Every structure is written in C-alpha cells, then in structure tokens.
Amino acid sequence: MGAATMERPTVQADYLLHLADNALVLGQRNAEWCGHGPILEEDIAMANVSLDLIGQARLLYQEAARRIGGDATEDTLAYFRDAPAFRNYTLLELPHRVGLVGYAQSDIDYSVTLVRNFLYGSLMVLVWDALQRSSDEALAAIAAKSLKEAKYHLRHASDWMVRLGDGSDESHARMQAALDHLMPYTQEFWTASDVESQAQASGAAVDVAALRAQWDALVDEVLADATLQRPALPKGYITEGKRGVHSEHLSYLLAEMQSLARAHPGATW
C-alpha cells in the first residue's frame, strides 16, 4: 500500500467514484423536482442544490478518469457503468416517497427530499471539511469547493426541517414519516467498505466512522428544534450501496439516466 516516499499520498480512483456517485445520484434525484416544486422559489432553490451536486460529480469523475486512464471520461463513468459498479449510499438512490418497491407508482413527497438532503448534508459538511486537509491535492481542492456548497445545502435543508417539523400538524406528520423511513439508511455511513478502508490507509481520506458523534450532535440539535423524534433503529439489515449492492431503485434510476447516451455509444454531445 505504501505511497512512494517522495509523493504525497493520494486516494485510489474507486474512492473518488464513491464520492462522485453519491453526488450524481443525489443530483439526479433532486433534479426531478424541476417544474414541480411546491412553490416557485423552492423550484429554483432545489435546482441550485442539484446543479452543485452535479458540478461536484463532474470534478470527481474527471479526476477519477485521469487516474483510471485509457478511454475513461466523466461520461463513460457516469453513463456506461452498471448498477453493481456504482458506489453511492443507498440512501441517495431512493425515490422521493416513503417505502414502496421499485416499480410501484406513487406521488413524490418533498418531505422525503428535504429530510434526505438534511441527513446527507450533515455528513458531507464534516466529510468535506476533513478532506480539504487531505494530502491528495486534487481531492483537497474539490473538497474545499464542495464544502462551501454543502454548508449552503445543509442550511437550506435544516431550515426546512425546523419550519416544517415545527409547523402544522400535517407538515410535522410528513416530516416525521420521512425521518422514520430514511434514518435506517444512514447506518450505512458508519462501517467502512473495502474502498474506504484502503483510502483511509493511504492517509489521504477521512475515517467517516470517527465523525459519527459529531453527526449525531448536528442532527439531534436540528431535530430538537424541529420537534421531531429520532426513531430507534432495531438491529437488522444495513444497506450496502457503497459496496455495489443496491436497492431495487438504482437500476430504474440508471436506466432512465443512461438510456439516451447508451443508445448512441461513442457519440459526442
């Protein structure tokens, strides 16, 4: 594993793909609200969040492509890998609704969107903050930019948690239901995958498990203001999206996202 002594340690491409896939999958989901938001101002705000995430994904994929070499580009990585190759948290690929199977039809619910952005955003402000000190210079630069954006996203989501959690009876009920649905998926954050362990060993990445106490504190503070109850998590299945074992939802998301590009392999757009 040892990096060359004259070079600064860097992470391997797979780790960049984990970060990139997170950003792309969540960016794709958030963009589903374009034109359908609960009020015009929120349509614009959510599009901003989505744009930022896709921007992060692009930087990370481009850097990953450089390290992979060959024909790899941001687009070959985004459009021509299948679900098992994707390393995003399962939390991020879920549709905007409370638990139904992959091919069930139902309305989308903004409460799920906001709570998910809050839970992920709380993690990423901590992760990007640590990574901006990474010995991997390219990653550190991306982290510094992403941290600014993540803070903005977290503020947006947190404000809504409080506004709606401590809002009307209906808004409170929806936010609580979304929280109950999504919280179990956050367990995936805390046990390192092989990719994460390897990246950590290089010294250039962050030990996410070590961030847990801070994340808990961040989350609990907002939940208290929002008058929301943190659900108890029974022992059971912990999702494994970052290991390439996803929910039924990812293959639908990728089918839609990748269909046009795959219909014209080799074309430039």
Partner 1 sequence: MYTQAMDIPDGQPALKPVARTASEAEAALQARFDARIDADGRIEPQDWMPEAYRKTLVRQISQHAHSEIVGMLPEGNWISRAPSLKRKAILIAKVQDEGGHGLYLYSAAETLGTSRDQMFDALHTGKAKYSSIFNYPTLNWADVGVIGWLVDGAAIMNQIPLCRCSYGPYARAMVRVCKEESFHQRQGYESLLQMMKGTQAQKDMVQDAVNRWWWKCLAMFGPPDADSPNSAQGMRWGIKRMSNDDLRQKFVDATVPQAQVLGVTLPDPDLKWNEERGHWDFGAIDWDEFWNTVNGNGPCNKERLATRVKAWNDGAWLREGALAHEAKQRERTMKEAA
Partner 2 sequence: MTTDTNKAPALKEWPLWEVFIRSKQGLEHKHCGSLHAADARQALQMARDVYTRRQEGVSIWVVPSAQITASEPDDKAEFFEPMGDKIYRHPTFYEIPDEVGHM
Binding site for partner 1 (CB under 8 A): 24, 28, 31-32, 34-44, 47-48, 50-51, 54-55, 57-58, 61, 74-75, 78-79, 107, 110-111, 162-164, 166-168, 170-172, 174, 256-257, 259-261, 264, 266-269
- Interface with partner 2 (CB under 8 A): 39, 41, 44-45, 48, 152, 155-156, 159, 163
Q: How far is the CB of 176 from partner 2 (least distance, A)?
A: 20
Q: Is 203 exposed, middle or buried (0-12, 13-18, 19+ CB in 10 A)?
A: middle
- Of 112, 103, 82, nearest to 21 (Cα)? 82
Amino acid found at 238: I
Helix (H, G, I), strand (E, B) or coil at 229: coil
Spatial distance between the Cα atoms of 144 and 254, rounded to a whole number of angstroms: 29
If phi > 0 it is left, if psi is from -120 to 50 it is alpha, else beta; for residue 244 that is left
- The contacts of residue 63 (CB under 8 Å, 6+ apart) are 16, 138, 139, 142
- Residue 88 binds: one of partner 2, partner 1, none (C-beta under 5 to 8 A by kind): none
Q: Is the CB of 48 or the CB of 132 nearer to partner 2? A: 48
Q: How far is the CB of 55 from partner 1 (least distance, A)?
A: 7
- Residue 98 binds: one of partner 2, partner 1, none (C-beta under 5 to 8 A by kind): none
**C-alpha angle 178-181-187 in degrees, rounded to nearest 5:** 120
- Residue 156 binds: one of partner 2, partner 1, none (C-beta under 5 to 8 A by kind): partner 2
Q: Is the CB of 67 or the CB of 163 nearer to partner 2? A: 163
Backbone phi, then psi, for 95, in 5-degree steps? -70, 170
- Residue 155 binds: one of partner 2, partner 1, none (C-beta under 5 to 8 A by kind): partner 2
Radius of gyration of the chain (CA): 18
Q: Is the CB of 164 or the CB of 206 nearer to partner 2? A: 164
Q: How far is the CB of 158 from partner 2 (least distance, A)?
A: 11
Q: Is the CB of 199 or the CB of 228 nearer to partner 1? A: 228
